[in-house]
Amino acid sequence: MTAVDDPKQNQPTRLPRSRRLTEIAIALPFVGGVCVGIPVLWNTDAEQGAGVATSSAAIYLFSVWFGMIVLAVLLARAFARQDQDA
């Protein structure tokens, strides 16, 4: 889609691809930090059985961890493609 064909010519064009990648790369650790910081909200003083179970906590943490890795893979691939294009 080129600008000429675009009926909404006056709309701001999307950011350049490289810049978007950079911004995602910068945002990613902060997103991960927030997700990993969630356990701070969990009750650590609860009665036995009333708090967050270690098994659930482990599933949550490893899911976040794995999710971040998947995002990092996608990002790394995008960077690699960009390097190839360049």
Partner 1 sequence: MVSFDILVAVSLAYVAILFAVAFLAERATDGRRAQWLRSPLIYTLSLSVYCTAWTFYGAVGFAARSGLEFVTIYLGPTGVLIGWWLILRRLVRIGRAERITSIADLISSRFGKSAALGGIVTILAVVGTTPYIALQLQSVTLSLSVFAAADPAAAVQASPNSTALWVAVGLAVFTILFGTRTLDSNERHSGVVMAIAVEAVVKLVALLAVGAFVVWGLAGGVGNTLALIDTSPIAQWSVPNSRWIGLTFLSAAAFLCLPRMFHVLVVENSDERHLHTASWAFPLYLLLMSLFVVPIAVVGLDMMPEGANPDLFVLTLPMTQGQNGLAVLAFLGGFSSATSMVIVAAIALSTMVSNHLAAPVWLRSRGEGATVSGDLRNVVLMSRRIAIAVILGLGYLYYRLSGGGAALAAMGLISFAGVAQVLPAMVGGIFWRGATRIGAAAGLTVGFILWAYTMLLPSVGVGTILSAAVVDQGLFGLHWLRPRALFGIDGMDPVIHAVFWSLLFNTLAFVAGSILSTPTPLERMQASQFITAFDQGGAARSWRHGVAEAEDLLLMAQRILGPTDAQRLFRAHAADQGKTGYLPTPSPSFLEALERAMSGSVGSATAHAMIGQMVGGASVTVEDLMAVADETAQIMEYSNRLEAKSEELTNAADQLRDANMKLVQLSHQKDAFLSQISHELRTPMTSIRSFSEILQDGALAPKDRVKYATIISDETQRLTRLLDDLLDLSVLENGQVALDIETGSLAQVLDRATAAADFGGDLEIQRPRQADAILLTTDLERLAQVMINLISNTRKYCVADHPKLKIRARQAGGDTELDFIDNGEGVPAAHRQLIFEKFARISDEAKAGSAGLGLAICREIMTNLGGTIEYLPGQGGAAFRLRLPASQAMAAQ
Task: Write the DSSP symbol of residue 62.
Answer: H
19 contacts partner 1 (rule: CB under 8 A): no
83 contacts partner 1 (rule: CB under 8 A): yes
Closest separation between CB of residue 14 and partner 1, Å? 20
Binding to partner 1 (CB under 8 A) within 33-72 occurs at 33, 36-37, 39-40, 42, 44, 46, 48-49, 51-55, 57-58, 61-62, 65-66, 68-72
Element containing residue 79 per DSSP (H, E): helix 54-85
Measured distance CA(34)–CA(25) in Å, rounded: 15
